[in-house]
């Protein structure tokens, strides 16, 4: 946070921005760095962003939005900027509203199994507060150490554990939201259940900042499991691993996590982490069972995967944690490559076919492809990359188009958990009909009639 170093009211501001700086001393920063108005997608940094505004509290967020409505200034809400779809990227003539200073855990109520947090709280910070109480907030995007819970709500983020515990939506009970006109509403309930009126909590979750700015989040907590067991199973190929997955899901086991890493991913991890995962085979399924039956469930997983031709191995303690960390962040940087990181989902039965298809697509377009998948959800993250040479970007784009079209053709979706942002806009019409998009635009207009909130994103 750089605001401490700023003069309370920057002296070089004029017009509406000076007015806002006067209302919120220390919060308006026109001298931001480029990385503060982008995210982790490969979308280019925007030009013409007026300022990053970092209100310190809910009233400050309301002040910003009242000001924005008065002066018709677009507002891009932004959490920790770890998004991968360009949803938090600034727009010309607009401000980026950062929630980074709204970073308090407001309440942890173990007896109610709920916590209330401000949107800027990072997943890791909440987890640190919950661990001593034996509690857990289930959603665990791979970015959980660096992404904010407000951002997770904006994208309805998934993660590794959602095969068993669901995505962000399933852990959000209530939201406080500042609307485009600066008014503050509360929606949802502190009880675990509730069906009063239309489900606005669900509507805000995953809306990528287009309907309002979330300023308070009541989340459901769950007990930390008494035991976790990790089964690492190598297969000769992704096809064989996909068959293994079907053998597994045909049984009664219900693992918390089922991750698939293909051969090129294993080779990449080996190259950057000093491991030798690829020696084990052409694909790796990493499975975690948890709870009182973790051991028996892992036994069943091993038996199912062995029966399908896999070579399972039980991992323990630090060795298990090391492998999970490799999955989360063991891949190397792409350095001078052009790359597209995709996020699509397919029905569980189509995982093998989908991987065959993307391999074929890569070969056709002269693009390298490797993939990991939250296989229990059918959620694939193919990574496409090419040398930065003439025609590379075009080949990459053509391959990405085909990858996304393939997911749709197989009955899947163009975004499993990262959201649409700006990066996936060009495929939106392939999944949603004009009528469905018109309904979504109609809903947007109910909440934000001036169209100021994150314009051009998501919808």
Closer of 13 and 348 to its own copies (Cβ): 348
Minimum Å gap between C-beta 376 and its own copies is 7
Task: Assign residue 188 a region (left: φ > 0; alpha: ψ between -120 and 50; beta: otherwise).
Answer: left
Dist. CA 446–CA 425, nearest whole Å: 22
Closer of 247 and 269 to its own copies (Cβ): 247
Closer of 11 and 435 to its own copies (Cβ): 435
445, exposed or middle or buried, with CB in 10 Å at 0-12, 13-18, 19+? exposed
Minimum Å gap between C-beta 200 and its own copies is 7
User: Residue 430 contacts by C-beta under 8 Å, 6 or more apart in sequence?
Assistant: 404, 405, 408, 414
Minimum Å gap between C-beta 398 and its own copies is 21
Closer of 105 and 432 to its own copies (Cβ): 432
Minimum Å gap between C-beta 286 and its own copies is 18
Closer of 275 and 413 to its own copies (Cβ): 413
Dist. CA 374–CA 7, nearest whole Å: 46
Residue 380's H or E segment, with its range, is strand 379-387
Closer of 338 and 423 to its own copies (Cβ): 423
Instruction: Write down the H helix ranges in 294-377.
Output: 294-307, 317-329, 351-365
Minimum Å gap between C-beta 392 and its own copies is 28
Minimum Å gap between C-beta 445 and its own copies is 8
Please choose, from the candidates 323, 205, 195, 191, the residue with its C-alpha nearest in 3D space to the C-alpha of residue 265: 323
Residue 178's H or E segment, with its range, is strand 172-178
Bridge partners for 290 per DSSP: 228
Dist. CA 452–CA 180, nearest whole Å: 7
């Amino acid at each position: 946070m750089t605001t401490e170093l700023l003069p309370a009211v920057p002296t070089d501001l004029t017009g509406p921005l000076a007015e806002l700086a006067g209302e919120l001393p220390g919060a308006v920063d026109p001298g931001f760095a480029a990385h503060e108005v982008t995210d982790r997608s490969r979308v280019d940094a925007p030009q013409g962003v007026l300022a990053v505004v970092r209100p310190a509290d809910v009233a400050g967020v309301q002040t910003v939005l009242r000001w924005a409505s008065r002066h018709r200034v677009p507002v891009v809400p932004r959490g920790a900027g770890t998004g991968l779809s360009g949803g938090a990227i600034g727009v010309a003539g607009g401000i980026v509203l950062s929630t980074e200073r709204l970073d308090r855990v407001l309440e942890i109520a173990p007896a109610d199994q709920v916590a209330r947090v401000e949107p800027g709280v990072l997943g890791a910070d909440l987890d640190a507060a919950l661990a001593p109480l034996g509690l857990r907030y289930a959603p665990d995007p791979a970015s959980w150490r660096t992404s904010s819970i407000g951002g997770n709500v904006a994208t309805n983020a998934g993660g590794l554990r959602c095969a068993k515990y669901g995505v962000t939506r399933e852990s959000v009970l209530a939201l406080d939201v500042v609307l485009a006109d600066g008014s503050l509403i509360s929606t949802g309930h502190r009880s675990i259940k509730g069906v009063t009126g239309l489900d606005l909590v669900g509507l805000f979750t995953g809306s990528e900042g287009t309907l309002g700015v979330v300023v308070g989040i009541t989340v459901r907590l769950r007990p930390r499991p008494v035991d976790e067991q990790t089964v690492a199973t190598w297969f000769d190929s992704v096809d064989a691993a996909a068959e293994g997955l079907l053998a597994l899901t045909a049984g009664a086991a219900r693992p918390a996590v089922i991750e698939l890493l293909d051969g090129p991913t294993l080779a990449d991890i080996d190259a950057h982490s000093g491991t030798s995962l690829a020696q084990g085979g052409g694909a790796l399924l990493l499975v975690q069972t948890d709870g009182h039956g973790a051991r028996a469930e892992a036994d069943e997983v091993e038996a199912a995967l062995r029966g399908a031709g896999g070579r399972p191995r039980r991992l323990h303690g630090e060795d298990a944690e090391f492998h999970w960390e490799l999955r989360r962040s063991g891949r190397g940087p792409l350095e001078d490559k052009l790359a597209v990181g995709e996020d699509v989902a397919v029905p569980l039965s189509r995982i093998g076919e989908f991987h065959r298809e993307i391999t074929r697509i890569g070969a056709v377009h002269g693009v390298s492809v490797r993939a990991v998948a939250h296989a229990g959800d059918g959620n694939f993250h193919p990574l496409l990359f090419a040398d930065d040479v003439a025609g590379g970007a075009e080949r990459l784009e053509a391959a990405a188009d085909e990858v996304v079209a393939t997911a749709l053709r197989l009955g899947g979706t163009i975004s499993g958990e990262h959201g649409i942002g700006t990066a996936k806009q060009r495929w939106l019409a392939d999944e949603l009909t004009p009528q469905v998009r018109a309904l979504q635009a109609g809903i947007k207009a109910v909440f934000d009639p001036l169209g100021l909130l994150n314009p051009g994103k998501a919808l």
